[in-house]
Amino acid sequence: MHSPDQVIVYRDQVRYTYRGLRERVGRLASLLQELGVQFGDTVAMMDWDSHRYLESFYGVPMMGAVLQTVNVRLSPDQILYTLNHARPKVLLVNSDFAPILNEIRGRLDSVHRIVWISDDGVQAPSDTAGDYEVLMANSDPNFTFEDFDENTVATTFYTTGTTGLPKGVFFTHRQLVLHTLVTMAAISSPASGQRFHTGDVYMPLTPMFHVHAWGMPYVALQMGVKQVYPGRYIPDALVRSIQKERVTFSHCVPTVLQMVLNAAAAGSVDLRGWKVVIGGSALSEALAGKAVSQGIDIFAGYGMSETCPILTLAQIRPRHDGLREAEELSLRCRAGAPVPLVALRTVDDSFKDVTSGGEIVVRAPWLTQGYAGNESASEALWQGGYLHTADIGALTGGYLKITDRIKDVIKTGGEWVSSLEVEDLLSRHDSVSEVAVIGVPDTQWGERPVALIVPRTAGVLNESELRDFLMNFVVQGLISRYAIPSKFQIVDALDKTSVGKLDKKILRTRFAS
Amino acid sequence: MHSPDQVIVYRDQVRYTYRGLRERVGRLASLLQELGVQFGDTVAMMDWDSHRYLESFYGVPMMGAVLQTVNVRLSPDQILYTLNHARPKVLLVNSDFAPILNEIRGRLDSVHRIVWISDDGVQAPSDTAGDYEVLMANSDPNFTFEDFDENTVATTFYTTGTTGLPKGVFFTHRQLVLHTLVTMAAISSPASGQRFHTGDVYMPLTPMFHVHAWGMPYVALQMGVKQVYPGRYIPDALVRSIQKERVTFSHCVPTVLQMVLNAAAAGSVDLRGWKVVIGGSALSEALAGKAVSQGIDIFAGYGMSETCPILTLAQIRPRHDGLREAEELSLRCRAGAPVPLVALRTVDDSFKDVTSGGEIVVRAPWLTQGYAGNESASEALWQGGYLHTADIGALTGGYLKITDRIKDVIKTGGEWVSSLEVEDLLSRHDSVSEVAVIGVPDTQWGERPVALIVPRTAGVLNESELRDFLMNFVVQGLISRYAIPSKFQIVDALDKTSVGKLDKKILRTRFAS
């Protein structure tokens, strides 16, 4: 074991060494085995970013079980759907999610045992297996981890990227190891700047349920660096942790960075020397410029849940020396250059390479092999032997730039909103004749949904009535609160394509600028 | 393709871009196909370190053929043996090796076609397929490289590490890719120092036939750095190249470093900022100290032909901050810390872990799976499911230190000499009753062989007679010139073990200090 004395920190509450992590990973496996988990079973995790989550990153896959990282930002009904689809035997759940758990518990098909997690001393309900820490203390640290096939599935996660129901992606041990090695090689190799190295202090600011916090905790452990897990993202607390633990490397969506910058400004905290990879949504030059001017080494990356996720990183290479500041800023905001082993093309409808305006399709050994139990969507994803990102891009000078999106979805604060789903719900309102939901750029959230509505009778509809109407579905757990459009605009007619479908491309041009 | 405009340099003679390399890799594959090479066939390469060698590193394996990197330092008979064992269909040979080729040509079993390489305009003999450059110019750069199984063998190389006949190790595409990724991750990730990064200029000083120059050219290409290939190692020319091309990263055995330091001193060349990984033989603190005092960032690595080769690297980690100079120097000279995915143990005879004095055994996904066509040696190599290095070591603070060697071999100037082989030849001399050949430390060569001889009749033998006797075998191509002992010492008796074998351990203690 390397770096046995290196430290892992959870908020102000826990501080232990890599040696301690290894011991607790053994305890976790023993505990899960005791609860009936066997090779091939699934274990679901619902927690904030914590040392416990890190323990599950290793303990569950290492015993040959599958870790389901539950997206706690989904609506209760969507969470229920993902749990009943992945069929975990055991669920580890933070007491903060008790309201969700209570709502769905009676409808959970597969969960036999629940392990209770609490930071605040909330006692484990009697119908659970007990408290995580109590159970861990009573478990054997000397679990024997056997060798098994590298193509065994290690983790699964549900993405709401495209339409309707969440879809399960899954990754094998082989894929996680390759993704870890390639990411470590790519992210540490620059001469200086835009790099993560063995002298850094790491704190994720992408939820650990989101494709393993972009795989970075696995990289951090290989690096042997100090790791800081922040719990729930509360801007003031994040800034305090960054300052107190001297965090030097993080990654997040633009919205979270904006939150942190605001909190740092309010508290007069100096973030100089902090390095941040931005992904999930486009990094605007305005935000990047603001960060750079505060001494933050910011750069973009690109990937998606289906791709484990890292495909490209916008690191500045030695050949870029002498770039003007504005050019360098523009480079930092591109999707970046493919990391090793990623074959990336931009192709037209007939799969011919085009220099710009083509769909980005990729091959790499760590891409999800399909959506769990959804053959048609899997086939569409891998049409022609390449994974289809549904993003439109251009490759110039080896650097990818995303220019448009094929999928009819909106990304707000790093989370996907299906416009089709919101359209479906709004169309149930008696006064709505036709509706289109589009994403419009938003400085805080990246994008926000806007509803364009053709009323049955002119002048009858008003915004607050529609908002209340959708709120019912939020309360019912069908959609997330952030899916409610920021604006409801009455229009005379909606543009259609030649086959009569909504022409979102034109609608976006007309209404989203 | 990344870094298409980055430069590859060969001596003062050739300078082309990565784009050019890619094109020539296509041409080489077309050329070899034209010469009858098919999937699974072997192609042998006999050249100095060159851009052509780099082309073969990619072109041959990428077409599904196996690249044999011929150890040109072996005796002609040994070279012949390795060629007839690996059975290449095509041999690429530098005109500098024409004397060897002429000696063995009539006895080559498998070689159908020979491609002639010359830097000096030596015309291709009429019984060859022709000159490399002429053939390349006439070949199609657009070769279609098909996908195939990752476990396809990519390269083979013969090691003379242990006894008698050279043994063939082999590596698959999967192994080369994993070794490349792990090496890139490990060697680029330090905060500062002891690292190879995208801003470096790379020049190998370990022959490319030696397990792919320790795999570093594959890493260099992934890094996208400028690469400088020095041809034959002529100390003055090496120093000039380092200076002219601003080389910042190399790797070599101690003997080569010593040569370069001497040449640099003679030419008053400043080597500050040069980073060098030392392997192949132990790095002495004297040599390391000399290098450090000249501003060279020197550190050791450990591995062997059987291990692809990298297992450990002696990089200084942030936790070592504040070490005294002597302690830091000592760390630089250790074998170092295992790179990712290497499971390394030091075990006693019953395979129990011991903290010191145990044999170093390893697992990693890039170790040779055996010796080609030699089942018993392969089984011995992998006894107990771990590869046996036959080195004795101790792991302290996560850093390996080699303390002794089990194998009865001598390593001189980075090359193995089989003491058994030299003993066998010397014992053929009429006046020799008993003989033991042991390695003694040598500041220039790491080790040199010394012969301990019990004569049949006291006082009859003399050193120059024995030297001449062995020289006959060098001329016959049976052993290399460097295998001739530096010293022939007459002794009364040789220490034996309980079972009557030579006790080399005691002999080394008595005569090698």
How many angstroms away from the CA of B183 is the closest CA of chain A? 8
* Three-state DSSP state, B171: strand
Cβ within 8 Å of residue A210, ≥6 positions away = A69, A71, A157, A280, A305, A414
The count of CB pairs under 8 A between chains A and B is 79
**Contact status of A341 with chain B (Cβ, < 8 Å):** yes
Q: Using the beta-carbon criterion (under 8 Å), do A192 and B198 form an inter-chain contact?
A: no
Least Cα distance to B55 among B81, B86, B16 occurs for B16
Query: B-contacting residues of A 391-420, CB under 8 Å?
Result: 398
Using one digit for the tens of pLDDT, what is the confidence trace for A348-387? 888 999 887 789 999 999 999 999 999 999 999 999 999 9
How many angstroms away from the CA of A200 is the closest CA of chain B? 8
Query: What is the CATH architecture assignment of A409-510?
Result: 2-Layer Sandwich (3.30)
Q: Using the beta-carbon criterion (under 8 Å), do B197 and A178 form an inter-chain contact?
A: no
- pLDDT for position A463: 86
Least Cα distance to A348 among A337, A361, A335, A338 occurs for A361
Find the closest chain B residue to A338 by CA distance.
B2
Confirm whether A23 is a catalytic residue.
Answer: no
**Contact status of A343 with chain B (Cβ, < 8 Å):** no
Whether B174-405 and B409-510 share one fold: the answer is no
Burial class (CB in 10 A: 0-12, 13-18, 19+), A163: middle
**Contact status of B3 with chain A (Cβ, < 8 Å):** yes
How many angstroms away from the CA of B386 is the closest CA of chain A? 14
Give the C-alpha separation, B72 to B45, whole Å.
10
Decide if pLDDT at B38 tops 90: yes
Under the banding of pLDDT at 50, 70 and 90, the label for residue B404 is: confident
Query: One-letter amino acid identity for B360?
Result: I
Q: Are B512 and B440 in contact (CB under 8 A)?
A: yes
Position with higher pLDDT, B392 vs A173: A173
What is the interface pTM, i.e. ipTM, of the complex? 0.88
Decide if pLDDT at B356 tops 90: no
Alpha helices in B366-432 (DSSP H): 375-381, 419-427
CA atoms within 13 A of residue A269's CA, in its CB half-sphere? 23
**Contact status of B17 with chain A (Cβ, < 8 Å):** no
Q: Using the beta-carbon criterion (under 8 Å), do A181 and B177 form an inter-chain contact?
A: no
How many angstroms away from the CA of A209 is the closest CA of chain B? 25
Decide if pLDDT at B210 tops 90: yes
Using one digit for the tens of pLDDT, what is the confidence trace for B414-467? 887 888 788 888 888 888 888 899 999 888 888 899 999 988 887 777 888 899
- pLDDT for position B322: 77
Under the banding of pLDDT at 50, 70 and 90, the label for residue B349 is: confident
- pLDDT for position A203: 98
Give the C-alpha separation, A270 to A216, whole Å.
24
Domain residue spans of chain A: 16-166, 174-405, 409-510
Q: Per the residue annotation, which of A116, A411, A412, A447 is the catalytic one?
A: A411
Mean pLDDT calculated for residue range B473-484: 88
Alpha helices in B227-284 (DSSP H): 235-244, 254-266
Using one digit for the tens of pLDDT, what is the confidence trace for B54-69? 999 999 999 999 999 9
- The catalytic residues of B are 159, 306, 411, 416
Give backbone dihedrals phi and psi of A359, rounded to 5 degrees, phi first.
-70, 140
- pLDDT for position A163: 57
Query: What is the CATH architecture assignment of B16-166?
Result: 3-Layer(aba) Sandwich (3.40)
My answer on whether omega of the bond before A309 falls inside 30° of 0, hence cis, is yes
What's the Cα-to-Cα distance from B178 to each of A182, B123, B203, B342, rounded to whole Å? 10, 40, 22, 11
**Contact status of B289 with chain A (Cβ, < 8 Å):** no
**Contact status of B119 with chain A (Cβ, < 8 Å):** no
Place of tokens 């005379």: A492
Query: What is the CATH architecture assignment of B174-405?
Result: 3-Layer(aba) Sandwich (3.40)
Decide if pLDDT at B161 tops 70: no
**Along chain A (513 residues), what's the average pLDDT of each consecutive run of 10 residues?**
91 97 98 98 98 98 98 92 98 97 96 97 95 98 97 94 78 98 98 96 97 98 97 96 97 92 94 96 88 96 96 88 85 95 92 88 97 94 95 88 79 82 85 89 89 84 88 87 92 78 82 76
**Contact status of B191 with chain A (Cβ, < 8 Å):** yes
**Contact status of A322 with chain B (Cβ, < 8 Å):** no
Give the C-alpha separation, B269 to B238, whole Å.
11
- pLDDT for position B357: 76
- Measured in whole angstroms, the distance separating CA A5 from the mean position of its chain's CA atoms is 30
Give backbone dihedrals phi and psi of B268, rounded to 5 degrees, phi first.
50, 45
Q: Using the beta-carbon criterion (under 8 Å), do B3 and A398 form an inter-chain contact?
A: yes
Q: Which residues of B touch A191 (CB under 8 A)?
A: 197-200
Range with lowest mean pLDDT among A447-451, B43-47, B273-277, B310-314: A447-451
**Contact status of B147 with chain A (Cβ, < 8 Å):** no
- pLDDT for position A161: 55
* Three-state DSSP state, A437: strand
Under the banding of pLDDT at 50, 70 and 90, the label for residue B205 is: very high
Q: Using the beta-carbon criterion (under 8 Å), do B2 and A338 form an inter-chain contact?
A: yes
Using one digit for the tens of pLDDT, what is the confidence trace for B97-122? 999 999 999 999 999 999 999 999 89
SS (H, E, C) B301-352: EEECHHHCCEEEECCCCHHHCCCCHHHHHHHHHCCEEECCCCEEEEECCCCC
Under the banding of pLDDT at 50, 70 and 90, the label for residue B79 is: very high
Confirm whether A352 is a catalytic residue.
Answer: no
Mean pLDDT calculated for residue range B222-228: 97
Query: One-letter amino acid identity for A368?
Result: T
Average pLDDT, chain B: 92
Least Cα distance to A113 among A54, A31, A27 occurs for A31
Cβ within 8 Å of residue A130, ≥6 positions away = A115, A116, A124
When CB atoms are compared, the residue of A177, A190, A199 closest to B191 is A199
Q: How far is it between the farthest Cα atoms of chain B?
A: 71
